[in-house]
Copies of this chain bind each other. A is one copy, B any other.
Amino acid sequence: MSLFSPYASADPSDLENLGVDWVIQYEFGDIDIAQAIDEFRTLIHDLEEAHCLTQVRHGYGASLLVCIHVPREHLGNMVYKSRVKDWLYGISHELPVGDDYTVVDAETPAEALRSVYHVVTWAKSLGGAGITPGLGQWERVTACTPLHDQAINASLLKKMSRRMKLTEEDLDTIRALFGEKVAFYFAFFHCYNSFILFAACWGIFSWAYLGPYSVACALVNCFWFIVFVEYWKIRQTDLAVRWNVQGVGVLKVNRPEYVWDRQVRDPITNEMVHVFSPTRQFVRQLLLIPFATVAALALGTLIVVTFALEIFISEIYTGPLKGYLEFLPTVIFSLSLPSISNLLSSIATRMTDYENYRTQDQYDVAQTAKTFIMRFITAFLPTVLTAFVYVPFGARLMPYLQISRIASLAKSIDTSKIHIDPSRLQQEVIYLSMTGQVLSFGEEVVLPYVKRVLRQKWRDYRQKQIRPSHSRQFSRYTDQLMIDSPDEAAFLTRIRNEVEGDEYNVHDDIIEMCEQYGYMALFGVAWPLMSVGFLINNWFEVRGDFFKLSLECQRPPPIRSDSIGPSMQGLELLTWTGILSTSAIVYLYRNGMEQVQLSSFFLTIIAAEWAYLAVRFAVRIGLQKMAMRTLRQESSRRYAVRKSFLEAVSGSSSPKSKLRVRFQDRVSVYSTSEDVRSGSEEFLHESQDGSPREKRFWAASEQGSADAGIRLIKALSVCEQPKSGKKEKGA
């Protein structure tokens, strides 16, 4: 079973989902049977009340799998209602035709699944079953996921392994399978890869002809970063319009965890709205400041200490075991990093919970922003320290390290002799960027895969050992349940494995890409080939991510979104700091740390920043001009819809005949100049409440205005130009 053709051996009929829309896993290992029975009965009852058909099978261990099917008629109605809601909130401009009982076909599997998702998870008041996995009453619902469409996944993965490019159709397919949120990630990834392709070509060129720290290389790179970010912004809007999800954030329902202060009736829509005081939320958000400070300090200190230790050992220490000790700090740091990150993450999650956001979207934004900050500190701080502290100031800082001389480990050295090699930055950049990518790929794709395969093997082994002996005892009324019918066995194994998978978090993948982009933006100039390395890595990464999404994780509920979320701000921030950092690195390292003046260093940074702002402005305007097309199409489409609607409405309801005649009659009264007199009468008739002066004014000339004017022209031309008086007489 190769990594990229995992379906090759499968019997096509095993790929079918047997009409199962959704699967819920209910685990009851830790509670009393009576309670489990109670809970399970409620679960089934709630699902059936929400019009779901259910089938129960046993899962791994003490768990049950509830297979859910929503009858097409009900589902079609849910889809229709969801479309009406889209229209109500202004997401789509086309009012779907129908009434309360209309049934429509979903356009994509994702649209159908979204409605199933709503049926299963929405609160009962909204017409759902109110199943909230892992929360409150449903704490023991440990998974709640749709089933993968294995056939399409397989064909898509096959297609991707053969070609470099994701076409527009591939993106549409991903959207149709996994919803817009995931599709936006792949679209972003693809856009980023096209961008990096150029960067890689330019990187090879600059490596061959310009060398590291070249000004030309830096300028082209920086320009390219700006173009990429601005282009992606437009592309994102474009896709949002294409996928009809613009502004979709407004219609998200409340999170089940959301706690509101009071209910308010919206004066305009006359509906109840649950409100949590924004002031209180803001105060809670302020907690972010101490948290960020502490997190940054903790991580920063750790990194600085590791760094200092490493330098101390490699540069000053000459005792025994130097070769091994040199790596010790980094190893300790690397080992402790995951647990520190976990600790910080869990604090961050609790803070985000406490901030009490109304919708899952807002929650994700807040959570992602926190993750962003932490990830970037750990990813960039070491290199920042090397580039801007250690190499430039190392020679001056080194003596301070000696203060901590431990017993005889440090020998007394002549500080004036210390010369720190500027190429250290380059070495570190090469090492960190390349190993980082390989490690993260392994950690993200290979490791879970291996773990999963092993776990499955262990499960199978254990099941074989225990089940048969026990199930024989209960064969009387459970045998057909405890032992999978041969017909279903393969299918059920697949369900069980899918349900066991991790939840796919698209934000993590996006952040990983942003991290890569950030590394290139910040330090790319030190090693022009970096983009080549990233390009190769991404060739695997995009396939690995899709592999992970479609085989290792649960199928994510097809959630809609109109962007890649808060990472967009992250990208802009990274571009900005990237340009500052690039200019600073080029200035410092270009001449090997010679001729460095503080004032011209700062001047370089100011110039870089202003250039950034100016170029960004120009690029934005230029790209917007070029990309106006889609937006204009969008507005013309809206116009066309409204126009046809207007025609339909006015065509059916207007008592045309009568009115037209009446109005046309009136119009003809004024339309020829001979009848102006009667026009004046018309006016007089019309303004019955006008003053007598008004009437007199409009009744003044007995002939038409044209004649009156002509007489005036003749008269005036005599008054004003007495010389031309003769001409007039001649005429």
Contact = CB atoms under 8 A, between A and B. Distances in A.
Is the interface on chain A under 10, 10 to 19, 20 to 34, or 35 or more residues?
Answer: 35 or more
A155 interface: no
A304 interface: no
A640 B33 contact: no
Interface stretch (A222-230, A497-505, A686-694): A686-694
A28 B90 contact: no
Given A45-B706, A49-B671, A718-B473, A653 B712 contact: no
Interface in A625-645: 625, 633, 635-640, 642-643
Given A29-B720, A269-B636, A717-B33, A670 B64 contact: no
Interface in A394-413: none
A485 B26 CA distance: 96
Given A99-B654, A714-B33, A18 B54 contact: no
A58 B716 contact: yes
Contacts of A671: 48-49, 51
A480 B646 CA distance: 51
A53 interface: yes
Nearest to A638: B90
Contacts of A55: 697-698, 700-701, 705, 708
Interface in A569-622: 597-599, 601-603, 605-606, 609
A466 B16 contact: no
Contacts of A655: 99
Contact of A64 (B101, B601, B713): B713
A287 interface: no
A704 interface: yes
A370 to B, nearest CB: 16
Contacts of A242: none
Interface stretch (A65-73, A377-385, A508-516): A65-73
A315 interface: no
B19 A712 contact: no
A278 B625 CA distance: 8
A488 interface: yes
Interface stretch (A2-10, A435-443, A518-526, A723-731): A723-731
21 contacts: A19-B683, A28-B717, A40-B710, A41-B710, A45-B706, A48-B672, A53-B680, A53-B698, A56-B708, A56-B712, A57-B712, A64-B713, A77-B663, A87-B642, A89-B635, A89-B639, A95-B642, A470-B715, A477-B711, A488-B696, A599-B601
Given A101-B660, A482-B715, 15 more contacts: A18-B691, A18-B693, A33-B717, A37-B710, A40-B710, A48-B705, A64-B716, A69-B683, A71-B679, A71-B683, A84-B646, A90-B638, A100-B659, A482-B716, A485-B696
